[in-house]
Amino acid sequence: MTSQKIFETTIRHYLAPIIEYLDDPGVSEVMVNRFDEIYIEKAGELIRVPAAFADIEHYEAAANNILQFTRQSFNSDKTLMDARLPDGSRVHVAKSPCARYGTVMTIRKFCKDMLDIDWLTELGTLTPQAKHFIRMAVEGEQNLLVTGGTSSGKTSLLNALSVFIPSTQRIVVIEDSAELQLQKDHVVSMETKAPDRFGRGAVTIRDLFKSSLRLRPDRIIIGEVRGGEALDMIQAMTSGHGGSMGTLHANNPMDAMNRLETMAMMAKVDLPLTALRGQIASAIDMVVQMSRHDGGKRIVTQITEIGALGENGRHGLKDLFKLDKSEKCNENGKNTFELRWTGERPELADRLSNEQLMSCDESLHDIFGLVTSE
């Protein structure tokens, strides 16, 4: 038996008390606070379930088993660890003393359907028009960030967008804990490495980023930008790696710009703030903002172009799509908002070739100022 097969078999045994929830496609997250205190998230709602591990030892053994197969020893000095289940679900384990009352484990279930842009459109995460627009942005090699709060669906959307990358291009993916499963053939995936128990041998996102530039990428995709690698990303984006993408935790596109600035400064490179801000403005072309709503719904709330800095030294943001806040009722009688074009002409129109423009969906003709043929 391969080690992967052994993992699959043993994991079902160890996780037997919660396997019912892991197998339920309606459950998106399983949270174990203690061996006998377990919550799930179903349809956006947090529910405490009556499940329990037999005792602390059984629970610790289950956590141990998961970590063992990701080559991380639970007995090491590390207290915070990421791992994956064989089906791609993401596991985070925090143990004492950081978790003050003993080991805490959360399992974010991997849902294959969430990788399909058409499915996300059907769920109402974005409109068909916005989907076509994002397709043009990806094909037009825009440097794009998907932003939003925790669990707002950033990684899933980034994954789904990858389908629009032309198959002729070579993609290098850089991540902390491998989550992205790009729907492309030519993908090189890189994952960071934790240090051993003597603090040696760590490989950071920044290290991977530098190495990735020597791997001849057409596009670089960075799972989540959260530290000094922001500077490397910005510099790569401005030096010929158009069409690069990533996710970033931010409340709105302006917040995203400010956070990038702060993160780039963590790289400890002497760069005057105005120069850095200018680089960010020319690196990032577009931000797709997401948010999480009642009932677990995730919605694209804004698509914004990042223009050049204004004379006042501030970012020039142009909202292309925004949620129409005039409330409408859907068939369930709930208020819904719709993502609508703001009427602003995108700069993207000037970056696309004639051929690309002519191939765009008819719903974009107004946006790109094309005349619709009868």
Ligand X SMILES: Nc1ncnc2c1ncn2[C@@H]1O[C@H](COP(=O)(O)OP(=O)(O)OP(=O)(O)O)[C@@H](O)[C@H]1O
Binding interface with ligand X (CB under 6 A): 28-29, 108-109, 111, 114, 120, 123, 125, 148, 150-156, 224, 247, 296, 298
The terminus-to-terminus CA distance of the chain in angstroms comes to 62
Q: Is 155 in the site for Mg ion (CB under 5 A)?
A: yes
> Which does residue 148 bind out of ligand X, Mg ion, none, counting CB within 5 to 8 angstroms by kind?
ligand X
Minimum distance, C-beta of residue 58 to ligand X, in the bound complex (Å): 26
CB of 164 to ligand X, least distance (A): 16
Phi, psi at 310, each rounded to 5°: -75, 175
State in angstroms the smallest separation of the CB of 273 from ligand X: 28
Instruction: Pick the closer one to Mg ion by CB: 51 or 182.
Output: 182
CA distance 104 to 63: 9
| Candidates 70-78, 110-118, 121-129, 150-158; binding stretch for Mg ion (CB under 5 A) | 150-158
Burial 66-94 (b: 16+ CB within 10 A, else e): bbebbebebeeebeebbbbbeeebbbebe
d(CA 121, CA 355): 26
Closest separation between CB of residue 246 and Mg ion, Å? 10
* Closest CB 222 distance from ligand X, rounded Å: 12
Closer residue to ligand X in complex, CB, 298/315 = 298
Interhelix angle 273-283/253-265, nearest 10 degrees: 130
- Token output for 313: 């030294």
- C-alpha to C-alpha distance for 285 and 287, rounded to whole angstroms: 7
Complex with ligand X: residue 61 or 123, whichever CB lies closer: 123
Q: Which does 162 bind (CB under 5 to 8 A by kind): ligand X, Mg ion, none?
A: none
Return d(Cα 142, Cα 304) in angstroms, integer.
Answer: 12
Q: Strands across the sheet with 286-292, in order?
A: 187-191, 171-175, 219-224, 245-249, 144-148, 286-292, 298-306, 317-329, 335-341
Binding at 184: pick from Mg ion, ligand X, none (beta carbon under 5-8 Å per type):
none
Which entry of ligand X, Mg ion, none binds 108, CB below 5 to 8 A by partner kind? ligand X
H or E stretch covering 56: helix 56-68
Nearest distance, CB of residue 30 and ligand X, angstroms = 10
Decide whether 140 or 153 has the Cβ nearer to ligand X.
153
CA dist., res. 320 & res. 253, Å (int): 12
Residue 149: CB minimum distance to ligand X, A: 7
- Give the integer Cα–Cα distance in Å for 108 and 111: 9
123 binds, among ligand X, Mg ion, none (CB under 5 to 8 A by kind): ligand X
Backbone angles phi, psi at 311, to 5 degrees: -60, -30
3-state secondary structure of 221: strand
**What is the x/- site pattern for Mg ion, positions 98-137, by CB under 5 A?**
----------------------------------------
State the minimum distance, in angstroms, from the CB of residue 155 to Mg ion. Answer: 3
Q: Say whether residue 89 binds Mg ion (CB under 5 A).
A: no
- 147 near Mg ion, rule: CB under 5 A: no
> Which is closer to ligand X, CB of 111 or CB of 266?
111
Using CA atoms, how far apart are residues 296 and 124, in angstroms rounded to an integer? 12
> Between 143 and 156, whose beta carbon lies closer to ligand X?
156
Binding site for Mg ion (CB under 5 A): 154-155
